[in-house]
Amino acid sequence: MQYRRLGQTDLQISAVGLGGWALGGGTDWGPCEEQSARETVAAALDAGITLIDTAPIYGQSEVFIGRALQGRRQQAVLAGKCGLVKNGSWTDHDLRPQTIIRQLEESLTRLRTDYLDLYQIHYPDPNIPLEVALETLARLQKQGKIRYIGVCNVGEKELRQAAAVCQIASVQNEFSLLHPQKGLSVLPACRELGIGFMGYGTLCGGILSGKYRKEPNLRRADARNYFYKCYRGEAFLRANQTAARVKTLAERKHTCASAVAGAWALSQAGVTGVLTGARTPEQVRQNAQAAQATLDAAEIHFVENEK
């Protein structure tokens, strides 16, 4: 495993992190047994993965991760989020100060810890000025409940706005071979401002691991159906062409497709780390191989471009 400094903080994070969304089960990803989740977290730590990212909106993820980290909390760089709340079958934005404070306290309880290494605004709230939310996080930071502040799913304008309010440790945006723009749009500003960048969705829900030979029959509520937008029609065909190139290169390099997809993201200037989801120890071990896989310019060109 490789370790990289996150922005201008003293945090050293693993180049490959464990994204906790799929571990939460529920309607987004289907049932996940707690024992499987705990074994997956243990396998991640054993593979040298220290960065573990979760959120209260991720079903049982925080509960499972909190239990899995008992006795191993100091091995993890634990990242949480605030600002999304369930409202029946809907998900709403809510970055009111009282909601941020409540969500943090509840997350700390579920995660069985008294602090988070990184606390992130999950999405900007159109009804709450970004400055107001960040000022709340800064107060929580002074109280010692969070060590560093991050933002997710932002553009360059919002990032610069946030950096003018307080020290921003990192940005977390979707970033993959299939959806590179959300990362590439902020990476120059991250480099300029000394802010770390973590890409999520590196495998786009698993499609870049090469697991889908045909269009899957997904439930409407499945995250791969409504979030990643590459599992239907022409989008699926294009995605599978990219996945095929990734798999071909992986075979040439005697590694797995997940490693190549992750290595592509890690090769981009300004990327500190990537978050990959996993629901089994084998998946997390495969994802971890991205830290050892290196791609030269010709290999990067091959996976990025159709023949």
Average pLDDT (151-157) is 95
| Separation of alpha carbons 81 and 186, rounded Å | 20
Residues 65, 279 contacting (CB under 8 angstroms): no
Average pLDDT (9-16) is 96
- Give the 3-state secondary structure percentages of the chain, helix then strand then coil, rounded to 5: 45, 20, 35
- Residue 157: Cβ within 10 Å count: 10
Tens of pLDDT along 123-146? 999 999 999 999 999 999 999 999
* pTM attached to this predicted model: 0.91
Residue 282 — pLDDT band, cuts 50, 70, 90? very high
Tens of pLDDT along 97-130? 999 999 999 999 999 999 999 999 999 999 999 9
* Separation in Å, CA 160 to CA 16, 58, 131, 157: 26, 28, 11, 5
Q: What is the pLDDT of residue 306?
A: 66
Residues 20, 279 contacting (CB under 8 angstroms): no
Given 3, 58, 148, 212, which residue is catalytic? 58
Residue 182 — pLDDT band, cuts 50, 70, 90? confident
| Separation of alpha carbons 134 and 254, rounded Å | 45
Q: What is the mean pLDDT of the chain?
A: 91
Is 58 one of the catalytic residues?
yes
Q: Please say if the pLDDT value at position 2 is more than 90.
A: yes
Residues 123, 115 contacting (CB under 8 angstroms): no
Residue 307 — pLDDT band, cuts 50, 70, 90? low
φ and ψ at 292, to 5 degrees?
A: -100, -20
